[in-house]
């Protein structure tokens, strides 16, 4: 099995006197694809951000390759940030930057020595991959939610991360774009990359996830394999209904 690439050990996250998630234990091996499911407000995005080191647990610890994320040196953090890319539920693009600037930033941080020409080439390649066809000189506000998601996806892929965190990533996309993103993720999966995603889309979950974790009221309520989901019609129906209960 080897050591987990990502591990949450008894983690909790409290903000504004509210415990949002607690007692979360989750270990993912390199190359695993894990879907986080559950009702809205249950804590899926919080668990995803803890696993990505974007927020630090208020109890317990999150680990990347055995290293506690909260105790990383600046250099270790930089390596982790290059390897681990995140697509936010709301895309979270810089409002005052144009698309070119948004996509250049990770390359400037993680590949400071490459030329402007190489950066442009990489950006054009990535945009073709995600199927974005509009201008590079416009700002996010001029884009639809779906187009913003494509840019968020493109930004996440610019530095060729080995770990991908995707939060409700097909939700605002049209069917063609959603299919294209699923294919892109599948390719990365086949290349041995590690993927953690939040989704309410049963077909996407069944197609990609080897492991499914359900977060309810801030707790890990269920942790099953893709095969177990395939054989569990009740759970499939719950996911299709948005696990509203
Ligand atoms: N930093 C925060 N401060 C206060 N409340 C938060 C914070 N982050 C999340 N929450 C709240 O915690 C709950 C779970 O949030 P979230 O992880 O986004 O759930 P999900 O992604 O499953 O919908 C929500 O009610 C949300 O408003
Ligand atoms: Mg969420």
What is the pLDDT at residue 244?
A: 56
Question: Which percentage of the chain shows pLDDT scores above 90?
Answer: 92
The reported pTM is 0.95
Identify the residue whose C-alpha is closest to ligand 1 atom 11: 20
Is 226 a residue whose pLDDT tops 60? yes
CATH number of the structural domain 6-91+164-240: 3.40.50.300
Is 241 a residue whose pLDDT tops 80? no
Is 113 a residue whose pLDDT tops 70? yes
Is 207 a residue whose pLDDT tops 60? yes
Is 236 a residue whose pLDDT tops 90? no
Q: Which residues surround ligand 2, an ion (CB under 5 A)?
A: 44-45, 89
The answer to whether the CB of 17 is under 6 A from ligand 1 is no
Atom of ligand 1 nearest to the CA of 46: 17
Mutate which of 38, 45, 54, 245 for ligand 1? The one with the most ligand atoms within 8 Å of its CB, which is 45
Average pLDDT, the chain: 95
One DSSP character per residue, 64-116 reads: ETTEEGGG--HHHHHHHHHHEEEE-TT----TTS-HHHHHHHHHHHH-TTS-H
> How would residue 1 be classed by pLDDT, with cut points 50, 70 and 90?
low
Identify the residue whose C-alpha is closest to ligand 1 atom 7: 15
Mutate which of 18, 46, 168, 200 for ligand 1? The one with the most ligand atoms within 8 Å of its CB, which is 46
Digit-coded pLDDT (tens) for 123-155: 999 999 999 999 999 999 999 999 999 999 999
> How would residue 171 be classed by pLDDT, with cut points 50, 70 and 90?
confident
Which whole number is the average pLDDT over 178-190?
96
Phi, psi at 14, each rounded to 5°: -120, 135
Task: Provide the 10 A C-beta neighbour count for residue 161.
Answer: 21
Is 234 a residue whose pLDDT tops 90? no
Candidates 167, 172, 176, 78; CA nearest to 133 is: 176
Which whole number is the average pLDDT over 67-71?
97
Which whole number is the average pLDDT over 104-120?
96
Distance 176 CA to ligand 1 centre (A): 30
Is 218 a residue whose pLDDT tops 80? yes
CA 221 centroid distance within chain: 20
CA distance 47 to 219: 10
Which whole number is the average pLDDT over 204-219?
96
CA distances to 149, 173, 198, 232, 245 from 122, rounded to whole Å, are 18, 23, 27, 43, 45
The dihedral sign for the CA sequence 168, 169, 173, 175: negative
């Amino acid at each position: 099995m080897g050591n987990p690439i990502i591990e949450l050990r008894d983690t909790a996250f409290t903000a504004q006197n509210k415990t949002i998630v607690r007692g979360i234990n989750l270990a993912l091996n390199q190359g695993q694809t894990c879907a986080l499911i559950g009702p809205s407000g249950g804590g899926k995005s919080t668990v995803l951000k803890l696993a990505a080191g974007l927020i630090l647990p208020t109890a317990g610890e999150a680990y990347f390759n055995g290293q506690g994320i909260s105790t990383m040196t600046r250099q270790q953090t930089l390596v982790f940030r290059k390897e681990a890319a995140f697509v936010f539920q709301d895309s979270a693009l810089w409002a005052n930057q144009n698309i070119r600037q948004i996509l250049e930033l990770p390359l400037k941080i993680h590949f400071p020595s490459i030329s402007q020409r190489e950066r442009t080439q990489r950006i054009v390649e990535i945009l073709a991959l995600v199927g974005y066809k509009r201008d590079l000189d416009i700002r996010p506000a001029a884009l639809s939610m779906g187009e913003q998601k494509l840019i968020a996806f493109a930004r996440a892929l610019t530095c060729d991360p080995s770990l991908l965190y995707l939060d409700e990533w097909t939700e605002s996309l049209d069917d063609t774009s959603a299919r294209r993103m699923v294919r892109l993720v599948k390719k990365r999966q086949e290349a041995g990359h590690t993927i953690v995603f939040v989704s309410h889309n049963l077909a996407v979950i069944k197609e990609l996830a080897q492991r499914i974790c359900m977060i309810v009221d801030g707790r890990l309520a269920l942790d099953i394999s893709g095969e177990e989901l395939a054989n569990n019609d009740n759970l499939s129906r719950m996911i299709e209904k948005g696990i509203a209960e």
